[in-house]
Homo-oligomer: A and B are copies of this chain.
Amino acid sequence: MSEAIELRKPYLLFLGSADSAINAKTAAGVAHWRPEHCRAQLRLDDKTVDLGFPDMSVGEAAAAGCATFLIGLAPVGAVLPDSWLALCVAALEAGMDIASGLHVRLGAIPALAEAARKSGGRILDVREPPPGLPCGTGDRRSGKRLLTVGTDCCVGKMFSALAIDAEIRKRGVKSTFRATGQTGILIQGSGLAIDAVVSDFLSGAVEVLAPANDPDHWDVIEGQGSLYHPAYAAVSLGLLHGAQADALVLCHELGRTAIDGNYQDFPIPPLEEVIALNLQVARRTNRNAALLGLSVNSSNLGAAAATAAMAELEDTLGVPVIDPVRTGAAKLVDELNT
């Protein structure tokens, strides 16, 4: 039986020489959402951003119990710098695993593969899905599930899911964030890169990622893409069918009118239409699927304009609207049948 990736904790966060948290986005995400999994940081020089953990060398971190060397940033350019490679080898030799969300597959670099073979450490390239994924069954399974869906890519589906999961757990209700992309997987320490799964196994992969659970347990599943994205809609549909979500949260960037990037010919349809299509296909595998509310990114607007725009959406659509950065997720979780 195939299983989602699982990182060993705690981590040594590798920050390279990133001069800001933005440039060590992955590490900053892990530090923000899962500080309890981070024991130390490794910075290449004094100008490197400080995420607030003890600075340690690889050897010190291993002695302090760090189990995974987590690469918390992308290199400039596609190639792994020699200095990073040497640290990865040292981490493996010190008994740690390596976790990476980089495009370049570390497991395919001979020096690293050899070091891992010798040490028994694992190289977790989290963009690679596990082997042996099954086809979807569509069988109803226990537990409750929430899926974030979007009007486009990069509209806050991961952030919203993390915020909702945190809010549910804060209330003493069982919840697990289920990551479907490399950043989410490194934050959560487990998950499955859904867009790298072979098409036939998409829904099956979601069934593996978010399996049957306690009746009062929530899986909060990170969505990907959009049913309206001309390149990535299939991924979104596989997620919708595999998730059997009870609750959908639509994520949207206020003011975005077309699909981002080279897709400006593709307008974002009226939100009512987006909601209707997402519910229609979600109900194929869970007839009770319902829209919980919207989670918007209002960072293009000032505070007053954002509040007004969200109130207007609430009036029009009849569901709560949050911006997880500005308002938190409480208003959505209030509506959950937890």
Contact = CB atoms under 8 A, between A and B. Distances in A.
A316 interface: no
Contacts of A198: 195-199
A151 to B, nearest CB: 13
A265 interface: yes
Given A138-B263, A195-B200, A238 B233 contact: yes
Contacts of A199: 194-199, 202, 232, 234-235, 238
A135 interface: yes
A266 B138 CA distance: 9
A230 interface: yes
Contacts of A1: none
A150 B324 CA distance: 40
Contacts of A137: 230-231, 262
Contacts of A231: 135-138, 200, 203-204, 241
A200 B128 CA distance: 13
Interface stretch (A61-69, A80-88, A279-287): A279-287
Nearest to A266: B138
A73 interface: no
A257 to B, nearest CB: 16
A237 interface: yes
Q: State how many copies of this chain the complex holds.
A: 2
A299 to B, nearest CB: 26
A277 interface: yes
A228 interface: yes
A203 B230 CA distance: 7
Interface in A110-165: 135-138, 140
Nearest to A200: B195
B200 A196 contact: yes
Contacts of A285: 230
Given A198-B198, A284-B228, A203 B233 contact: yes
B196 A281 contact: no
B203 A234 contact: yes
B232 A234 contact: no
7 residue pairs, one from A and one from B, having the closest CB atoms: A138-B230, A234-B238, A136-B231, A234-B234, A195-B200, A202-B234, A135-B231
24 contacts: A136-B231, A137-B230, A138-B230, A138-B231, A138-B266, A140-B265, A194-B199, A195-B198, A196-B198, A199-B199, A199-B232, A200-B232, A203-B231, A203-B233, A203-B234, A228-B284, A231-B241, A233-B238, A233-B281, A233-B284, A234-B238, A234-B241, A237-B237, A266-B284
Given A195-B198, A198-B198, 7 more contacts: A200-B231, A203-B230, A203-B232, A227-B281, A230-B284, A231-B241, A237-B237
